[in-house]
Amino acid sequence: MAKAPNTERIGKLRKRLNHRRARYVLLQNALFKIKSFDQLFVIIVAMLIGVFAGVIAAGFRTLIETFRHVLWGNGALIDVVKAAPIYLKIGIPAFGSALVAWFVMRFAPEAKGHGVPEVMNAVATQNGFIRMRVVVIKAFASAMSIATGASVGREGPIVQIGSAFGSTIGQVFQVSVRRMKTFIGCGAAAGIAATFNAPIAGAIFASEVILGDFSAAAIGPIIIASVFGTVISRALYGNFPAFVPPTYILHSPLEIIFYIILGLATGVVAWIFVRSLYKSEDIFDSWKAPIAVKGLLGGALLGVVAIYLPQILGVGYETMDNVLSGNIGLALAAILVLGKIFATSLSMGFGASGGVFAPSLFIGSMLGGAFGSVIHMLFPEITASSGAYALVGMAAMVAATTHAPVMAVLIIFEMTKEYTVILPLMITSIIAMVISSKLLKGSNIYTMKLQRRGIDIYGGKDINILDQISVKDLKKKIIDTIPDSLTLQELLEKLSKSSALNLYVKDEDGQLCGIITHSAMRRYLNHHEEIPEHVTVKDMMNQKFEVIYDETPIHEVLRKMIEMDLEALPVVDENLLLQGEVERTAIVHQYQELLIHAESTKAMANSMKFIHRQYHEKSEVMPGFYLARINVPSAFINQSLRSLNVRQSYGVDILLIRRVVGKKERDIIPDGNDKLKSSDQLLIFGEQIKVELLCDSN
């Protein structure tokens, strides 16, 4: 009697869920119909991403202000920090840093730091896939970091949040990889545009820094998203420049010389900034302590510095306005250059979440202001005020750290609406970029983070897959070696019996001293009608050859093979003793296997995301054939795939196994020796009736 009401309630609940699911399917089908009109679909999505980024940028600013008012009280950050007691100056940054460091590590480690490198990595190596949860985690963590005083900016989080939304839209509609990357660029562009009221710079940032793609197919949607992001921002905050610059006049052509010197100095300071940023991360990463403890002590140290230099806390727009107006003296501006470098490096080291774009603007403005004060004191009649040099220093530092001079010049122009300063902006930014690029060996503040993880952002996915292959694994033992005293007649006899690509020549000490190839021998014989009697291998071997070591990256091995036109290269030790050889065909074969593995894993993992998370759900991928995600059947538990022979016994293929390892889910390409566990989930593919039979047997 007691069970009837429960059964009736469950039935009603099931009907309600079925109605909701039906409405969801109808909505999804309608959206997919729009997708069939490709250009219209892209324009609508770009507009949607732009509006979202504009709203999120506004919401993010509101969230920062809310946290700041709750923790510090009302008023400008510098003023309230100066008035606060010492225990709050130290305690609030310490509390915020500990909370953010723990929160990010617990829920989304990719939300740590400045965000842009993670977006660049997703574009270059992850086919544009970014988790949607990053939006929420990054927004909270970055707002808390900035509000409590971490020396970071808000542009990096907005870029990552906008890009994550663009990626999510692409995943929902299962668009191509190229289109997915375009949607990510739309999110990044709209985020920058909405943050700085700079639509042109936002579009250039996404194209120049994030995508490296200025094609019409990519730039069109990016511009649309940037425009809509700016429209939303201006509707909420008005069309006002981010900074009010001083009136600028080029007093003398000789003044360009001073801007060239400023460019040189900015390039060096940018190098110091980038190096100190990652040195700080290394120090904190090597410290074996709980992440929250690192954040607590790092934030406390930041608070101690802020007792004497409150200007270093947060984004620092008020201080930048002051230096542009000439209200900060030479000594304080010079000290703030070093103070901001230290504060930002410390913040990134202990795990704050935020961007490095605003700190770059801050450091550049202080450096330019200090330099301009000195120059104006020495040459008052032919130089502008220190504020003009501060403005140029902002653009130069951004160009030097990001290696994107076009974006740097445009964003300062749009943020200030000041065109008259464009000439020194251009020359100083280019020189600063060239100097920092030389000192940083081609890396910038974003790509260095990825290169330190072994990711070549410019090489892309192919280079990173190649570098999973090692020389040590591919080298094979060499049978055909010859002494350098061998005569030509003896060499020809040797070649006629050998199938080796190269013959390696050793000297009396056993060291590799030359290479003989079949093609080289043919060329040699074509120039001689008869075989010379007294010619030895030493006379005709190639002594200018390339060698490789066990540690040589495979992409470097391939480059050497192509340059030398060789099908194999010798592997030697540090004493040039021959250890083996690596053939080009072996590299290509291994690369193909890894590429197929990587692509199939990603594709199958993506397929699992689009199959609902019920006990078992099916998705038709072609007429009569279904993908299904199921819990492992009880009859499969502890059985190997080889013994189950699922294809023959059940008529389906197991494409992917999702397994809990530790506290994380991992997607595994099936192997015949894998034994299935009770907690596993399977992605299966086959004819509808076969898939349904296996689902029903579960």
Does residue 63 sit within a domain?
A: yes
CA 661 – CA 290 distance, rounded (Å): 22
Does residue 600 sit within a domain?
A: no
Q: Are 87 and 125 contained in the same domain? A: yes
Distance between alpha carbon 656 and the CA centroid of its chain, in Å? Answer: 27
Q: Are 26 and 36 contained in the same domain? A: no
Q: Are 275 and 366 contained in the same domain? A: yes
What confidence tens digit (pLDDT) does each residue in 309-343 have?
A: 999 998 888 899 899 888 898 999 999 999 999 99
Amino acid at site 462:
D
Q: Are 50 and 24 contained in the same domain? A: no
Q: Are 365 and 382 contained in the same domain? A: yes
Q: Which two tokens stand for residue 199?
A: 């639509």
> Is residue 352 very low, low, confident or very high in pLDDT (cuts 50, 70, 90)?
confident
Distance between alpha carbon 136 and the CA centroid of its chain, in Å? Answer: 19
Q: Are 662 and 531 contained in the same domain? A: no
- Which residue do the tokens 């299935």 mark? 676
> Is residue 620 very low, low, confident or very high in pLDDT (cuts 50, 70, 90)?
low
Does residue 463 sit within a domain?
A: no
* Highest mean pLDDT: which range of 180-189, 203-212, 427-436: 427-436
CATH code of the domain in which 80 resides: 1.10.3080.10
Q: Are 372 and 410 contained in the same domain? A: yes
For 682, the enclosing helix (H) or strand (E) is strand 681-687
3-state secondary structure of 621: strand
108 or 259, higher pLDDT: 259
Domain boundary among 456, 487, 508: 456
Q: Judging by DSSP bridges, how do beta strands 481-483 and 502-506 pair with one another?
A: parallel
Q: Which two tokens stand for residue 163?
A: 């890009």
Domain count along the chain: 5
Q: Are 492 and 554 contained in the same domain? A: yes
The answer to whether the beta carbons of residues 670 and 620 sit under 8 Å apart is no
> Is residue 5 very low, low, confident or very high in pLDDT (cuts 50, 70, 90)?
low
pLDDT reported for residue 361: 93
pLDDT reported for residue 593: 64
Reply yes or no on whether the pLDDT at 534 is more than 90: no
Report pTM: 0.68
Among the residue ranges 82-91, 142-151, 172-181, 229-238, the one predicted with the least confidence is: 172-181
Q: Are 498 and 572 contained in the same domain? A: yes
Average pLDDT over residues 365-378: 93
Reply yes or no on whether the pLDDT at 232 is more than 80: yes
Average pLDDT over residues 523-541: 69
Average pLDDT over residues 113-126: 78
> What residues make up the domain containing 531?
471-588
The answer to whether the beta carbons of residues 618 and 626 sit under 8 Å apart is yes
Among the residue ranges 363-367, 375-379, 627-631, the one predicted with the least confidence is: 627-631
DSSP string of 345-370? Answer: HHHHHHT-B-BSHHHHHHHHHHHHHH
Q: Are 49 and 180 contained in the same domain? A: yes
What confidence tens digit (pLDDT) does each residue in 271-285 have?
A: 999 999 989 988 888
CA 456 – CA 121 distance, rounded (Å): 9
What confidence tens digit (pLDDT) does each residue in 87-96 have?
A: 999 999 999 8
Helix 405-416 vs helix 422-439: crossing angle, to nearest 10: 140
What confidence tens digit (pLDDT) does each residue in 124-143 have?
A: 767 777 877 777 888 888 89
Reply yes or no on whether the pLDDT at 432 is more than 80: yes
CATH code of the domain in which 689 resides: 3.30.70.1450
Other CB atoms within a 10 A radius of the CB of residue 253 amount to 8
Please name which of 158, 190, 143 lies closest in space to residue 353, comparing C-alpha atoms: 143
Q: Are 39 and 27 contained in the same domain? A: no
CA 73 – CA 65 distance, rounded (Å): 10
Q: Are 482 and 519 contained in the same domain? A: yes
Please name which of 444, 64, 88 lies closest in space to residue 273, comparing C-alpha atoms: 444
Does residue 464 sit within a domain?
A: no
- Percent of all residues in the chain with a pLDDT value above 90, rounded to a whole number: 20
